[in-house]
Amino acid sequence: MPPQTNCPLPAGFQLDQYRIERQLSLGGFSIVYLAHDQEGTPVAIKEYLPNSLALRKDGELEPQVPEENMPAFRYGMKCFFEEGRSLAKLMHPNVVQVLNFFRANGTVYMVMQFERGRTLHDYIQKHRGEVSERFIRAVFTRMLNGLREVHAHKLLHLDIKPSNIYLRNDGTPVLLDFGAARQTLASDQPVLKPMYTPGFASPEQFSHRDALGPWSDIYSVGASLYACIAGTAPLRSDERAKRDTLAPVGKTHASQYSEQLLQTVDWCLKLDPLSRPQSVYSLQKALIRREEGDAVHAGLFADLGARLKSFIGRT
């Protein structure tokens, strides 16, 4: 049976102190809207609405939750609310800023700063097979600054992928859409099907959740690096655990990128959590240092901004 689809709130709807303009995205766990606050400032609002537990029909405001799903729905709502509370404490230029979170319409909402730009996924699709090493090192070195801040607050992202790495108009990357609440739901509530992004989730997210740690996010970073190089996500880690047919990028792309960068990607994609970088700092050091031992040139970041402005201007 195909999953049910929830209807979004209508354009023009007044939600607390925000007016909904339009839907930005619809997933199995939430709906994200573009809205404006009372001063007219654009914001992104994420609505907790897992379609495996609740259904909102056209013209309705509150989702209908079957009695047997209510415990899981309420627990997930609590996790989502706590996620918003935790993220609101993070103030970092490379992590999406949570401005507010509140309850309404029988569910909860997370209000985030609206960012202008494009996702790394969009950039990869437009430049498939031609994403430069300079670009890769610049984007990921800066993005990892944000992930270090996340881990410093004892949080995990658990849903890092190119579509959740946003490239602002000035070239700076920002981490979006944390998966903490849905992952907690999946571990504690068997009624919910785990929601993984094929190719980007670490193997321990599928079967050994007690082994989750910073290295789990690092696997996802490695898969995102792989996507920049290969143009597609790597083989799913749960499939690799059964029979690993993933060819190392150190072999498949040896003529296109430095050996040191390719070895770093393959290091992140080790199936054994203990065989990967154990901290974001370790991975950052590898990305900042070139094969010949020179630090990445500072002009690289200015070059990144120029490239992105050109890319966004053409789209």
DSSP-assigned states of every residue in 294-307: PBPPTHHHHHHHHH
The string of DSSP letters for 51-114 reads TTT-B--TT-SSPB--GGGHHHHHHHHHHHHHHHHHHTT---TTBPPEEEEEEETTEEEEEEE-
| More reliable by pLDDT, 177 or 142 | 142
Q: Is the pLDDT assigned to residue 190 strictly greater than 50?
A: no
The string of DSSP letters for 126-172 reads HTTT---HHHHHHHHHHHHHHHHHHHHTT-------GGGEEEETTS-
**Percent of the chain scoring above 90 in pLDDT:** 64
Same fold: 15-113 with 117-313: no
pLDDT interval class at 308 (50, 70, 90): low
Domain 117-313 indexed as CATH 3.40.640.10: no
The pLDDT value recorded for residue 75 is 87
Please state the φ and ψ torsions of residue 179, each to the nearest 5 degrees.
-105, 15
Q: Is the pLDDT assigned to residue 37 strictly greater than 80?
A: yes
Domain 15-113 indexed as CATH 3.30.200.20: yes
CA distances from 130 to 125, 198, 228 (A): 10, 23, 9
Name beta bridge partners: 280.
none
Give residue limits of the domains in the chain. Answer: 15-113, 117-313
pLDDT interval class at 304 (50, 70, 90): low
Q: State the first-to-last Cα distance of the chain, in angstroms, to the nearest integer.
A: 37
